[in-house]
Structure 1
Amino acid sequence: MNLKNLHTNRLILIPMTLEITQSLIKGSSMEVEKLGIKCDKKWPTEDTMDILPIINSSLEKTKIPTGFETWMIVDKNNKKIIGDIGFHGEPNKNGEVEVGFGLVEHERGKGFGSEALEAIMNWLKFQEGAKVIKAECLISNKSSARILERAGLKEVNRDEELIYWELIK
């Protein structure tokens, strides 16, 4: 599959490749810079660094991005990566995928999260195996909850720490 970048009014979503992932794990942005973009000084975030080994493991199997890994969120205005969005793998046997996203702190509250989520969900509409979109966020993360709700996901459960969201395609 030849995966293309996703474009919105203000953003470009670029799939992370194996080379980019391995470069970031080593603390280098060299592979990113080959694309003509830069990393915001606060990206990759701690959360992104935590999931890079998982993304790397997935990409080592597929060799090329399927779209169900992580996409870098690039601000078209300054060509900087300001966050990332993606899935926790391909749809499971029930057609469920889980989406997650994060932005560098100083870019939050500008609508970038909603814009990126809308783009990735539009892409997902054309992926046959995906029937249910799931997400979770901390109860204290009101901004993420608003973004998920605006995107059409409904709260299906919560515990003392997390809110669980779902959207049936």
Structure 2
Amino acid sequence: MIKIKKRGENGLIEILTNRLMIIPCSLDLAKSLVFHRKELNKRSPIEFPYYWPSPFVKSFLPYYIECLESDEVEHDCGLWLIILYEEKKIIGDILMKGKPSKEGMVELCYHVEEKQVDETIAYEAMDAFIDWLTYQKSVKKVVMECEEQQKKSIRLFNKLGMICMKKEGSFLMWEIQKKDLD
């Protein structure tokens, strides 16, 4: 079961599942991750494990902060936090690489700490996020990629109903399209 909540004056979205809360990373949180990690660890009611954020997200954070500060629509990208709700612990993230294209396509990547949680958590998070995305009018297709040796990602993409559309070298491109309800 997926529940969507808007909170606060700015209408921040919370995507809730049975075990997870998926929320966008705010400007304040992004800055704290980069500049004040020790203080964040002390004060936050949510646990930020040593393994998070992933190296990819760490390298992305300065760009993300710049985009949020400039508030430029053309740089519309999103970093979302996957929180194991009962433990109040971040276990991964979803990165939306830019706003949907004119054709309604958006590219995602995800990271879930596999040593900390089972595969069903990654499915629950991605299924809920893709459901939320495809209910947005502008998103008609979600694209993700992985390397051919990433068996867990391949199983996840298959379980989500994604189709492998292209192979370039060792990279596989997967997609799922919104079903027309009309």
TM-score calculated relative to the size of structure 1: 0.87
Distance in structure 2 (CA, Å) of the matches to 1:32 and 1:19: 14
How many residues are aligned here?
166
Residue 170 of structure 2 corresponds to which residue in structure 1?
161
> Any conservation in 2 of the 1:85–1:100 contact (CA below 8 Å)?
yes
Aligned: 1:54 with 2:69: no
- Matching residue of 2:125: 116
CA RMSD of aligned residues (A): 2.2
> Do the aligned partners of 1:20 and 1:32 also contact (CA within 8 Å) in 2?
no
> Structure 1 pair 30/128, CA: closer, same or farther in 2 (3 Å)?
farther
The yes-or-no answer on 1:95 pairing with 2:79 is no
**Alignment equivalent of 2:82, drawn from 69, 73, 86:** 73
Quote the Cα distance in structure 1 between the aligned partners of 2:24 and 2:100: 17
Q: Which runs of 5+ in 2 are unaligned?
A: 1-9
1:32 Cα shift?
7.4
Segments ≥4 residues shifted beyond 4 Å: 29-35
Higher relative contact order (CA 8 A, sep 6+): 1
Report what 2:34 is aligned to.
25
Partner of residue 159, structure 2: 150
Q: Per-residue deviation at 1:105?
A: 3.7
Contact 2:148 2:172 in 1 (8 A): yes
Residues 57-92 of structure 1: per-residue CA shift (max 9 Å, x gap): 3222339xxx95011111112111011013101101
What is residue 3 of structure 2 aligned with on the other side?
none
User: What are the ranges of 5 or more consecutive residues in structure 1 without an aligned counterpart?
Assistant: none
Identity of aligned residues (%): 30
Give the deviation of 1:131 after TM superposition: 1.3
**Partner of residue 130 from structure 1, selected from 133, 139, 145:** 139
Amino acid at match of 1:21: A
For the structure 1 residues 27 and 103, does the alpha-carbon distance in structure 2 shift closer, same or farther, using more than 3 Å as the test?
farther
Q: Is the 8 A contact 2:107 2:144 kept in 1?
A: yes
